[in-house]
Homo-oligomer: A and B are copies of this chain.
Amino acid sequence: MKIAFIGLGRMGAGMAANLLKAGHAVTVFNRSRDKAADLLRAGALAAADPAAAADGAEAAITMLADDAATEAVAFGPRGLLAGLAPGAAHVAMGTISVALSERLAEAHEAAGQGYAAAPVFGRPDAAAAAKLFIVAAGAAPLLGTLEPLFAAMGQRMFVMGATPSTANLVKLSGNFLLAATIEALAEAFALVRKAGVDPEAYLDLLTNSLFTAPVHRTYGGLIAARRYEPAGFAAPLGLKDIRLALAAADREGVPMPLASLLRDHLMTVVAQGGGGRDWSALGDLAARNAGMDAEG
C-alpha cells in the first residue's frame, strides 16, 4: 500500500521501518527532518508537510506525542484533512484524547475521508521488533484494509468496535492500569524495605508467584533497584495520560478514585523536580513519604 507516516519519534521510526520492510511504499514527514535519515536510506520518501505526504496515499498514519501535535497535523493549513484524497484514511496511532478522536472522526467523515484509531501498547523496543499490541477501532471494511499494515507493525490486533474513539478510551484505561500497578508496587516496596526486607528477594517472590506479568517484572525491577533514570516513559507523559483517562471518565460520568490518586502523585513527582524521571519514580515518592531518603 501507499502510506504516509507522520511522527518519527522513538516509536514511529521503528513502526515506519517495519512498514517498509513489509514492502509498503512509505512517504514520511517529521518536524525535525534529521530523524528521517535512516528511513530514507531504507527506501522511504520524504515530504515537506503532512498534506504532501498524504498526497496519493491510501492511508496516513500519525504517531505523535500528544493532542496538540496531532491536531496541528490534521487540522493545520497543510494538514491531513487538506491533503488526503476522498476515500483515503487517517489512522491515528498515538495516545490521544477521546475528545480529539471524536473531532477527527467527524472532520474526516465530513471531508469524505476514512478515519480509524489504533493506539498501541509497547515500548520502543517492541515497536522496532514489530511486537506491538494494536488496539483498533473504526469501520469494519477500513480495519480490514488496514490489517496488513497492523500485521507488519504488531504481534496482535484487538478490535474494539466501530467507533474509533473507543480504542483511545481503551488505550488510556490500559495506561491507567499500568500506573496503578506501579503505585501498588511503590507502596508495597516502601513498606517491606522500611521493615528491613531485601528488595531483590521480595521482587523474586512477587514475580515468581502471583505477579508474573511483564508489568510486574519491568516496574518491580525498577523500583527494587531504585533506578528511575533514564526514563523509559517519563513522569510528565504518564501524568498526561492519566489526565486524559480522567477526562474520558469525566465525560462518561465514571468516578475513578485510584486514577485521581495517581494524578496527584504524578503531579507531586513532577512538581518536586522529577520531570526527567521515569513514571516509576512513584516508588521514590512512596519511600520519601515514609521518611526514607533517596538512598533509603
Chain A contact residues, CB within 8 Å of chain B: 121, 133, 135, 156, 158-161, 163, 166, 169-170, 173-174, 176-178, 180-181, 183-185, 187-188, 190-192, 194-198, 201-202, 204-206, 208-216, 243, 245, 248-250, 252-261, 263-265, 267-268, 270-273, 286, 288-291
Q: Nearest chain B CB to A154's CB is how many angstroms away?
A: 10
B268, A289: Cβ atoms under 8 Å? yes
* Known contacts A121-B210, A191-B256; is-contact A271 B250 (Cβ 8 Å): no
Query: Is B211 touching A215 in the complex (CB atoms < 8 A)?
Result: yes
Query: Considering the chains assembled together, what is the distance between the CA atoms of A260 and B255 in angstroms?
Result: 10
A264 to B285, CA, bound (A): 13
Which of B180, B187, B252 sits near A195, CB closer than 8 Å?
B252
A210 contacts B215, CB within 8 Å?
Answer: yes
Contact A201 B158 (CB under 8 A): yes
Taking A161-B196, A201-B160, A213-B212 as contacts, is the C-beta distance between A249 and B191 under 8 angstroms?
yes
Indicate whether A271 sits within 8 Å of B257 (C-beta atoms), given known contacts A181-B184, A191-B248, A201-B160.
Answer: no
For the complex, give the distance between the alpha carbons of A248 and B195 in Å.
9
- Min CB distance A256 to B, Å, is 4
7 contacts between A and B (CB under 8 A): A161-B198, A180-B181, A194-B253, A211-B215, A257-B264, A258-B261, A271-B289
Q: Using CB atoms, name the residue of chain B closest to A272.
A: B291
| Contact present for A271 and B291 (CB under 8 Å) | yes
* Residues A170 and B205 in contact, CB atoms below 8 Å apart: yes
Q: Which of B205, B213, B215, B270 contacts A135 (CB 8 A)?
A: B205
Given A133-B209, A214-B210, A253-B291: A169 and B156 interface contact (C-beta under 8 Å):
no
Q: Which of B188, B196, B249, B264 contacts A260 (CB 8 A)?
A: B264
User: Would A188 and B195 count as touching, CB distance under 8 A?
Assistant: no
Does A174 contact B206, Cβ atoms closer than 8 Å? yes
Q: Considering the chains assembled together, what is the distance between the CA atoms of A170 and B256 in angstroms?
A: 27
Task: Enumerate chain B residues within 8 angstroms of A273, measured Cβ to Cβ.
Answer: 291
A194-B254, A253-B290 known, 11 other contacts, Cβ within 8 Å = A158-B208, A169-B192, A170-B202, A173-B192, A178-B210, A180-B184, A254-B267, A258-B258, A260-B264, A268-B289, A272-B291
